Amino acid sequence: MNYRQYIKSKEWLETKKYFSFIKEKKCFICNNKKHIDLQHLHYKTVGYEDGSELEWLCRKHHKDVHTHNGVKITPDSEENIKICGHKMRLLRFNT
């Protein structure tokens, strides 16, 4: 199963449901509680998440994390994954 199939799967829905019990559903960066998405900090454990590699993000910050110099970042390459993780850290501490 590829990543796009996984995020539409029953397993991912169950992971999101479980994560909402262990961590309040608010943006990791700005604490917004509306329009929240669950973001992977990395994609090495997709399908086997334990929660430490996941964070809630509002739609604005989710989009910001997945955009670099106007280019959409996808989980398709290791370099893009590094950019996403780095941007999340920068956004968190510069907001």
What pLDDT sits at residue 41? 78
Sequence-separated (6 or more) residues with CB below 8 Å from residue 94? none
Q: Is the pTM of this model over 0.85?
A: no
Q: Measure Cα distances from 73 to 25, 68, 78, 89 in Å.
A: 24, 7, 11, 16
> What are the pLDDT digits (tens) for 45-75?
888 888 888 889 899 888 887 776 555 656 5
